[in-house]
């Protein structure tokens, strides 16, 4: 599933093509994309509107329109937004034509992605965005925020990181990478983390997300850039999808277990299950930590 860095990558690359441009023609070919709103209704409300701004909140792509409305796109598991000159793209569910020869195609093989139109920013916030936790790269996110969210919670810390009400935009990849950088076992009860653990976790989250953005997101299965290119962050993973390969810090084989209902990758030595275990000498959140040269498979 595209996470914050993948959606941010799409936002940055689509922005020059969309901002200030009119949606000359809109076609919604899959009723599931905008249900319960009829496809013809959504297309008619968007047609002719100018995109004034392309924004992101968590995993949502947000298009501000010149009439004050907002279009919220969520890619879910396999969605992509492609710039295309072809009459139709593979797995196309909607098309937003921005001139005679160029369009943005919403393509989604598994058809879980969604498109919702909100009348204005207040409706968007009240019905959608206010339900999300803080942006992890903003000043609103810090150890105090995590302390409040984790207080008295027995659930594994990874489970709460995947909960978009805790912090927006983190999914399975970046939870694994952030927890490794922070030296925290993914199954540790969130409420038992100490203040220093939370501070390392905030740093680890930010470090993992910034690395993902820097490398154009991760293309493990479906994610692609608007021009069809792959992201490169899968080549920089420290633990995710590296089961059996050496930990980049200590050399111990990376483990895979099912935690919080998801396949979870971690180093059993660097990420101690008990806080009584001695911390590694070097912080995993250090930007100098490099991925190993051996690579895991890029397919499941």
Give the model's pLDDT for residue 128: 93
**Same structural domain, 126 and 148:** no
**Same structural domain, 160 and 48:** no
Which bin fits 260, alpha (ψ -120 to 50), beta or left (φ > 0)?
left
**Which of 24, 117, 125 minimizes the C-alpha distance to 69?**
117
- The first and second tokens of residue 223, run together, are 């994610």
**Same structural domain, 163 and 262:** yes
Give the model's pLDDT for residue 297: 41
In a domain, 284, yes or no: no
pLDDT above 70 coverage of the chain, percent:
91
Domain boundary among 87, 108, 131: 131
3 tagged catalytic = yes
In a domain, 282, yes or no: no
Q: What are phi and psi of 281, to 5 degrees?
A: -65, -30
* Interval 215-251: pLDDT, tens: 999 999 899 999 999 999 999 999 999 999 999 999 9
Give the model's pLDDT for residue 101: 85
* Interval 66-120: pLDDT, tens: 999 999 999 999 999 999 999 999 999 999 999 878 999 999 999 999 999 999 9
| Whether pTM exceeds 0.85 | yes
Give the model's pLDDT for residue 272: 81
* Interval 130-166: pLDDT, tens: 999 999 999 999 999 999 999 999 999 999 999 999 9
Contact 179, 158 (CB under 8 A): yes
In the block, tokens 């490398």 appear at: 215
**Same structural domain, 169 and 55:** no
Catalytic residue among 57, 59, 188, 241: 59
**Same structural domain, 68 and 125:** yes
Measured CA to CA, the distance from residue 242 to residue 234 in angstroms comes to: 10
**Same structural domain, 71 and 110:** yes
230 tagged catalytic = no
Catalytic residue among 262, 269, 279, 295: 262
In a domain, 293, yes or no: no
Give the model's pLDDT for residue 300: 31
278 tagged catalytic = no
Catalytic residue among 3, 92, 177, 236: 3
**Same structural domain, 99 and 163:** no
The CB-based long-range contact list for 267-270 (8 Å cut-off, 24+ gap) reads 267/180, 267/239, 270/180, 270/183
Q: What is the mean pLDDT of residues 180-187?
A: 98
Q: What CATH number corresponds to the domain at position 245? A: 1.10.8.50
Give the model's pLDDT for residue 273: 79
**Same structural domain, 9 and 120:** yes
Residue 297 DSSP symbol: -
In a domain, 179, yes or no: yes
**What is the extent of the structural domain holding 22?**
4-131
| pLDDT tier, 291 (very low <50, low <70, confident <90, very high otherwise) | low
Determine how many CB atoms are found less than 10 A away from the CB of residue 66.
13
21 tagged catalytic = no
In a domain, 272, yes or no: no
* Interval 247-288: pLDDT, tens: 999 999 999 999 999 999 999 999 987 654 444 434 444 445
5: pLDDT strictly greater than 70: yes
Number of domains in the chain: 2
**Alpha-helical regions (H) of the chain:** 4-18, 31-34, 39-46, 121-127, 143-150, 157-162, 172-182, 195-214
**Same structural domain, 35 and 116:** yes
In a domain, 286, yes or no: no
Q: What is the mean pLDDT of residues 40-62?
A: 97
In a domain, 205, yes or no: yes
Spell out where the chain has E strands.
Answer: 21-22, 25-28, 50-57, 60-65, 70-74, 80-84, 92-97, 103-107, 114-118, 255-259, 262-266
**Same structural domain, 113 and 200:** no
Contact 211, 238 (CB under 8 A): no
In a domain, 295, yes or no: no
**Same structural domain, 159 and 261:** yes
**Same structural domain, 56 and 88:** yes
């Amino acid at each position: 599933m595209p996470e914050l860095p993948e959606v941010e990558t799409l936002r940055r690359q689509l922005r020059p093509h969309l901002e200030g441009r009119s949606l000359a023609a809109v076609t919604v070919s899959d009723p599931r994309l905008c249900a319960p709103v009829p496809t013809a209704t959504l297309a008619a409300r968007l047609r002719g509107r100018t995109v004034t701004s392309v924004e992101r909140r968590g995993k949502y792509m947000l298009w501000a329109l010149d009439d004050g409305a907002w279009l919220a796109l969520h890619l879910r598991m396999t969605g992509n937004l492609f710039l295309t000159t072809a009459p139709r793209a593979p797995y196309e569910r909607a098309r937003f034509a921005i001139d005679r020869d160029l369009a943005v195609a919403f393509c989604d093989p598994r058809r879980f992605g969604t498109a919702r139109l909100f009348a204005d920013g207040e409706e968007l916030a009240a019905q959608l965005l206010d339900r999300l936790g803080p942006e992890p790269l903003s000043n609103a996110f810090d150890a105090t925020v995590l302390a409040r969210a984790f207080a008295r919670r027995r659930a594994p810390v990874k489970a709460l990181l995947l909960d978009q009400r805790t912090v927006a935009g983190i999914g399975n990849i970046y939870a694994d990478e952030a927890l490794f950088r922070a030296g925290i076992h993914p199954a540790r009860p969130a409420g038992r983390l100490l203040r220093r653990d939370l501070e390392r976790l905030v740093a680890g989250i930010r470090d993992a997300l910034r690395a993902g953005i820097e490398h154009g997101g991760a293309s493990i299965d479906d994610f692609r850039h608007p021009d069809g290119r792959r992201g490169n962050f899968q080549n920089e993973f420290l633990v995710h999808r590296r089961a059996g390969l050496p930990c980049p810090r200590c050399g111990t084989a990376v483990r895979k277990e099912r935690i919080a209902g998801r396949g979870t990758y971690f180093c059993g030595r660097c990420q101690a299950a008990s806080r009584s275990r001695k911390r590694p000498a070097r912080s995993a959140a250090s930007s100098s930590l490099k991925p190993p040269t051996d690579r895991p498979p890029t397919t499941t």
